[in-house]
Every structure is written in C-alpha cells, then in structure tokens.
Amino acid sequence: MKYLDEFQDPDLARRLLDDIHSVVTRPWALMEVCGGQTHTIIRHGIDQLLPDQVELIHGPGCPVCVTPLEVIDKALEIASRPGVIFCSFGDMLRVPGTGRDLFQVRGEGGDVRVVYSPLDALHIAQQNPDREVVFFGIGFETTAPPNAMTVYQARKLGIKNFSLLVSHVRVPPAIKAIMESPNCRVQGFLAAGHVCSVMGVGEYPDLADRYRVPIVVTGFEPLDILEGVRRTVLQLERGEHTVDNAYPRAVRPEGNPAAQAMLADVFEGTDRAWRGIGVIPDSGWRLSSRYRDFDAEHRFSVGDIDTREPAECRSGEVLQGLLKPNECAAFGTTCTPRNPLGATMVSSEGACAAYYLYRRLDITTAPLEASPVA
C-alpha cells in the first residue's frame, strides 16, 4: 500500500498553489461540503496558503455533527436499557446528547460497543441471541449502503434480535437548502468525493445550472483539495458553472450501481432534521415499510424524549457556512472538545473541533530554519 505520499507531495502542492495564485483576480467564496475535507484543510494549513481572495467556507458534511439531538437522545435511551448491546462507530460515543454521551452510558453500566463495520454488529447479534443488538446507522450516502446491506443480511439470515437506529442524510438537498438560504455567500462547491463514488454525479448538473455554481467533485488528500480549489476558481474566473470530476481515481460518473440498488431496496426517502439547521425536505432516508421490523425506533418506542439544545451553541450557523467557528462567543471558552456544547466541537470531522485542535494559535507561517543537525 503506497498512495499517501503522492497526494501530499510538497512540490506538487506548491505548483498547484502557484497556479491558484496566478488565476485569482477577485474574491471567491467556496464551500467544501465534507467535514473530512475541512479537517484536511485545517490540519495541513491549506487555508493559510491560499490567496487571501479565496475563502473556504466549511459545509454541513460532517455526519456526526448533523445528526439531530433527538436521535442522539434516543440512542442514549436505548443504550441504557438492560438487555441491549448498542453498537456504534467510535466517533459517535463522545457526541453530547441532552446532558450526557454514550461514553457516560457505558460508564453507568450500559453495554455500548465500538465497531468498525455494521456487519460486526450483526455478528454480535448472532453471538448473543438473548440480547437485543442495535446499530447506530447515521451518515451520508457513504455509510448508508453498508448499513442497508446489513439490514438486508439480517432479514435474509432470519436474525430477529438486530435493529438499526437510522438517521441517514443526503448531500444534494443540503446544497439546495444552502443555496436558497437568504444569507448564502457560496459561489462554488467542492463536492464530497466519497459520496459521489457511491451516487455518481448525476444529481449535480441540475444544481449547478439552477444556482449557477461550479461543482467540482473533490477528494480528501491535500493535493486533491488544491486541485478542487484550482478547478473551481478557474470556472468562476471564466464565468462557468459546470460539474467537474477532479477525483476520477475514485469516482465514476454513474457511481456504484450495486450500492444504489441496495439503498433503493432497503431505504425510502423522507424529510430529515439536520442538527443546528432544521428540517430539509426529502433530505434523508429511513427504512422502507418492508424492513420496518428492523427499525430500532419502532422496536424500543422512544417517542417521548425530552430534548434540549444549549441556547448558546451556534453550530447551525457554522454548518451552513454563515459563521466561522472562532467567531462564536463560546468557542474555546464554554465550548471545548473537553466540554462541548455542540457536535461540531466533538466530532472528528467537525469544523469547530478542527479549529480548536489545529488553529487555536495564530502564528507565523514563516518557514523554520533548517533542521539544526543532520
């Protein structure tokens, strides 16, 4: 396995940066949709190296951040029940619900387990037939297909003690909602490459036309980001607004038809609430009626959840690109990864966490002296 170095090469990065600097003639505001892209940008200091005219606005593409508090609270309620094994990807465990998180539920005796695949959760269900095993199925078009496959498998294998707490969301309706926001400043999008590797690019030309914005499918390594920025800026400077694939090593125009078929079989479209943003029409998936038996919300009757968002958390504005994390009064004071008010501060892909972890200190970018010894 050798593929990381090529996409972090400082010389190539410098050439791309020079290109971007040479073509920019006026200010442009671009949104990177995905939280993984946000972290690459901040972790590698890419935002410090771009021309001042190119502003990167951090988008809503952090799956952990946009999961509604109500769903987190339902997860906490289910995970607290005796006889339940609650399985989740690691980065959901520290996300604050109303008053606590999944780590604390585990500390109180709940059986909360980190898994690396939903199929691991299904395996746990097979090994524990006398327990109810629930998998926390959140995320975008990237995590939805394996979760759909797991439910499909559970039914095929006749596994009755497995269910999915589902809160899946889709990117294109979010782009639409952002562009129709009265405060929208976004002029171009770096689309999330892994989403497109599943869904293809077919959903994007209409959006690019309708809102007259370039949409460039972009990967996640530093050179991917720089190439995405370069192509977006080139289009903007030329007055163009097309869909361009700058991530062809992973994204085919048609996407992954097998994954799409699995999604269509197991899920159906639904309106979905996004944490901090509100309900976006037709922006999510839920289990279709044929798979309702596997829906944890039905199985555990968690309708009466008392949900309270901290009033001072402005993560919704951060998720819509209306506010930079450090412009929030709570940033770094009452809101830290240690004591987060919102998911954007705790998620490994959250914009507030990225700023806190990597950019707290505004220091010079002047190069260090050469290493003092060989």
Partner 1 sequence: MPETTQLTAVDPTAWTCPVALRDHPRVVMGHGGGGALSAELVQHIFAPAFGGETLSQLGDSAAVSLGGVRMAFSTDSYVVRPLFFPGGSIGDLAVNGTVNDLAMSGARPAYLSCGFILEEGVEMSVVARVAETLGAAARRAGVEVVTGDTKVVESGHGDGVFINTAGIGLIPSGVDIRPQRVVPGDVVIVSGDIGVHGVAIMSVREGLEFGVEIESDCAALGGLVDAMLAVTQDLHVLRDPTRGGLAAALNEIAVASGAGVVIQEGDVPVPPAVANACAILGLDPLYVANEGKLVAFVPREHADAVLGAMRAHPLGANARVIGEAVEEHPGMVVARTGLGGTRVVDLPIGEQLPRIC
Q: How far is the CB of 177 from partner 1 (least distance, A)?
A: 20
**24's tokens:** 């920019």
How far apart, in Å, are the Cα atoms of 236 and each of 1, 23, 57, 186, 201?
37, 10, 16, 12, 20
Residue among 23, 15, 32, 22 nearest 237 (CA)? 23
Q: Which single residue is written with the structure tokens 């920019």?
A: 24
Nearer to partner 1, 139 or 342 (CB): 139
Nearer to partner 1, 306 or 362 (CB): 362
Examine residue 82 and tell whether it contacts partner 1 (CB under 8 A). no
User: 137: number of CA atoms within 13 Å, CB side?
Assistant: 35
User: Site for partner 1 (CB under 8 A): which residue of 23, 29, 114, 179?
Assistant: 114
Considering only residues 160-189, where is the footprint of partner 1 by CB under 8 A?
none
Torsions phi, psi for 68 (to 5 deg): -60, 150
- What pairing do the DSSP bridges indicate for beta strands 188-192 and 215-218? parallel
Examine residue 64 and tell whether it contacts partner 1 (CB under 8 A). yes
Residue 11 burial by Cβ neighbours in a 10 Å radius (0-12, 13-18, 19+): exposed
User: Site for partner 1 (CB under 8 A): which residue of 74, 194, 231, 241?
Assistant: 194
Considering only residues 330-369, where is the footprint of partner 1 by CB under 8 A?
332-333, 336-339, 348-349, 355-365, 367-368
Examine residue 228 and tell whether it contacts partner 1 (CB under 8 A). no
d(CA 148, CA 160): 16
Residue 354: count of CB within 10 angstroms of its CB: 24
User: Site for partner 1 (CB under 8 A): which residue of 22, 26, 82, 116?
Assistant: 116
Nearer to partner 1, 7 or 294 (CB): 7
Nearer to partner 1, 110 or 173 (CB): 110
d(CA 370, CA 326): 32
Examine residue 130 and tell whether it contacts partner 1 (CB under 8 A). no
d(CA 238, CA 283): 32
- What pairing do the DSSP bridges indicate for beta strands 215-218 and 243-245? parallel
- Looking at 68-76, 90-98, 270-278, 286-294, which segment touches partner 1 (CB under 8 A)? 90-98
The site map against partner 1 for 291-330 (x = CB under 8 A) is -------------------------------xxx-xx---
d(CA 85, CA 95): 18
Nearer to partner 1, 63 or 342 (CB): 63
The site map against partner 1 for 3-42 (x = CB under 8 A) is xxx--x-x--xx---------------------x-----x
Examine residue 126 and tell whether it contacts partner 1 (CB under 8 A). no
**43's tokens:** 């972790």
- Looking at 92-100, 160-168, 205-213, 240-248, which segment touches partner 1 (CB under 8 A)? 92-100
Question: For residues 196-212, b (16+ Cβ closer than 10 Å) or e, as one string?
Answer: bbbbbbebbeebbeebe
Nearer to partner 1, 92 or 280 (CB): 92
Using N-to-C axis directions, what is the helix angle for 144-157 and 118-127, rounded to 10°?
Answer: 20
The site map against partner 1 for 247-286 (x = CB under 8 A) is ----------------------------------------
Binding site for partner 1 (CB under 8 A): 1-5, 8, 10, 13-14, 36, 42-49, 63-64, 89-94, 103-104, 106-108, 114, 116, 138-140, 142-143, 194, 222, 322-324, 326-327, 332-333, 336-339, 348-349, 355-365, 367-368, 371-374
